[in-house]
Amino acid sequence: MEEDFNKIIEEGLRLGAEYVDVRYQEIKSELIVAENGKFTKYESEAASGVGIITVVDGVPGFASTTIINLNTLLETVKEAVKIAKTSKKLSAKNIYAEVDSYSDRKEVTVKIDPFETPAEEKVGLIVDINKTAILSDEIKNVSTALGIESDKRFFLSSEGTNIRTQTVLTGLRHSSVAKVNGVMEQVRDAETFVGGYEFFKEFDAEKFVTELSKLAIDAAKAKSAKPGTYPVVADPDIIGLILHEAFGHASEGDLVASGESVLSGRLGEKIASEHVTIVDDGSVEGGYPVWYDDQGVKKTKTIIVKDGVLDGYLLSRETASKLGLEPTGNARAQDFENTPVVRQTNYYMEPGDYSLEELVEDIDFGYYIKGRGGGGGQVDVGVGSFIFNAGPSYIIENGEIKELVKSVSISGLILETLKSVNAVGKDFKITTSVFGGCGKSGQRARVGLGGPSVRIGKMIIGGR
């Protein structure tokens, strides 16, 4: 295959391109679902294809195909060059910033290939786990899913970069619906392991789903939070989501370069409290591994905010050149059919040195906001306003964590929120998910979310 791809690159150069890259990808996935003690569905997919970018006089053109043979690939590179030449008349130049070229192979360690595990075994496991979540008559619906994915990528460029990577994810998703005295409450959560089927040897799945059922019952019995503005402690799950959605996107180089982001032109400015240091890290325990991006640029740890001061952006080769900065390895494509756009990898706040007890001890009245059981939210990156659904959370009273309240919604303006961070916990957890990811420009990307627990001076809490 590599031989054919080299021929494609040569052909692109011969047709007048100054740069060509070829991305080949094989994605396999399975999803097995059980509901209320019974098997419900088994979905399975294998996709593969090639995407080719050619650059002619600084203007890119892209073409992709799922039909992989030398003739079709030659047609595809021809189309990519034609698009670049056509675009030249009307498009802005997108100069690629210079980068080093690499030749490398990286892959996730897999002890037991989840795709080779017999279908019967996987179905049996999920049905069994699902059954254990039916705790009592108060549980009205339980749904459990097993998700596995393998993503193999091969990147080859005319600058000599040659990178092969493979990631494998294995995960469990569960939702419990409880009804107590006519009040319904649903909580869901997922746990994903970067690796193979060995996950189920180590992970206590039964405990995981039983706890969710218990939480659903407790939340159905719980009172609602009192809407208003309060000091809060946000746990790693919810702080990770807020940072990714409300701040991370605003630090993406394309939105910064186009002027859409609230962070445009503010490097060096103090935009958060001095407790806040935020990074985007391609390799962190629990997160989604990104060793190289889809432009073949090495991804390391990028500092975005250092002690409250805006220190960097997430950049592709084009956005780096537009902003006069160095690429950070954040150009990511959902798949071979899509062109890379600036995306986060594992985006988080660096931990501080407070214990959870210390974080809550100075709060007279507020909430301990939990991410588990929540889901969904929306952000306006131009203004920095956000609204999220958190999960069932706890009241903080006289410096102590007290009773549970039903799921809450939280909202605010991200820069005001980050300025009111007055303590950062020493706990730290990053997770990724095989069941979802981040959406942008119609493309999905796997990311890692999380961080430490964080104390925030002011947050708007609503009921749900």
SS3 74: helix
Which secondary structure element, helix H or strand E, spans residue 257, and what is its range? helix 253-257
Q: Cα separation of 152 and 202, whole Å?
A: 25
List 182, 268, 324, 442, residue binding other proteins (CB under 8 A):
442
Give the integer Cα–Cα distance in Å for 344 and 326.
16
CB of 350 to other proteins, least distance (A): 30
Does 382 sit near other proteins (CB under 8 A)?
yes
Please pick, from the candidates 71, 116, 118, 268, the single residue that binds other proteins as defined by CB under 8 A.
Answer: 118
Print the binding letters for residues 310-349 with other proteins: x by CB under 8 A, - otherwise.
--------x------------------x-x-x--------
Q: Write phi, then psi, for 422 (nearest 5 degrees).
A: -120, 5
| Helix H or strand E encompassing 2 | helix 2-14
Q: What is the DSSP letter of 284?
A: -
Q: Which residues, 214 to 233, sit near other proteins by CB under 8 A?
A: none
Contacting residue, 387, 399, 416, 435, with other proteins by CB under 8 A: 387
CB atoms within 10 A of CB 308: 19
By C-beta, is 62 or 347 nearer to other proteins? 62
Please name the helix (run of DSSP H) or strand (run of DSSP E) that holds residue 46, with its range, or none: strand 38-56
- The reply to whether 179 sits near other proteins by the rule CB under 8 A is no
Q: Please state, in angstroms and rounded to a whole number, the distance separating the CA atoms of residues 204 and 228.
A: 38
Contacts (Cβ under 8 Å, ≥6 apart) of 153: 23, 24, 25, 163, 164, 165, 166, 294
Site for other proteins in 66-85 (CB under 8 A): 66-68, 76, 79-80, 83
Name which position in 24, 62, 200, 230 contacts other proteins (CB under 8 A).
Answer: 62
Residue 407 touching other proteins (CB under 8 A): no
Query: Which residues lie below 8 Å from residue 214, measured CB to CB, with a gap of 6+?
Result: 135
Verify binding: residue 255, other proteins, rule CB under 8 A: yes
Which one among 127, 156, 304, 314 touches other proteins, defined by CB under 8 A? 127
Nearer to other proteins, 454 or 459 (CB): 459
- Measured from the CB atom, the residue of 281 and 337 that comes closer to other proteins is 337
| Contacts (CB under 8 A) with other proteins, residues 83-112 | 83, 86-87, 90-92, 94
Q: What is the DSSP letter of 121?
A: H
Distance CA 199, CA 205 (A): 10
What are all long-range contacts of 123-128, with beta carbons under 8 Å and residues at least 24 apart?
123/32, 123/34, 123/39, 123/42, 125/200, 126/32, 126/33, 126/34, 126/39, 127/34, 127/37, 127/38, 127/39
Minimum Å gap between C-beta 164 and other proteins is 20
Contact call for residue 38 and other proteins (CB under 8 A): yes
Nearer to other proteins, 92 or 307 (CB): 92
We find the least distance from the C-beta atom of residue 439 to other proteins, in angstroms, to be: 13
Residue 451 Rama label (left phi>0; alpha psi -120 to 50; beta)? left
At residue 296, what is the residue type? G
Q: Which is nearer to other proteins, 48 or 166 (CB)?
A: 48
Q: Nearest 10 degrees: CA dihedral of 456, 356, 428, 198? A: -130
Number of residues that bind other proteins (CB under 8 A): 60
Q: Which stretch binds other proteins (CB under 8 A): 240-248, 345-353, 373-381, 419-427?
A: 373-381
Is 209 among the residues that bind other proteins (CB under 8 A)? no
Site for other proteins, rule CB under 8 A: 38-39, 41-49, 51, 60-68, 76, 79-80, 83, 86-87, 90-92, 94, 118-120, 122-123, 127, 141, 254-255, 257-260, 318, 337, 339, 341, 376-380, 382-383, 385, 387, 389, 441-442
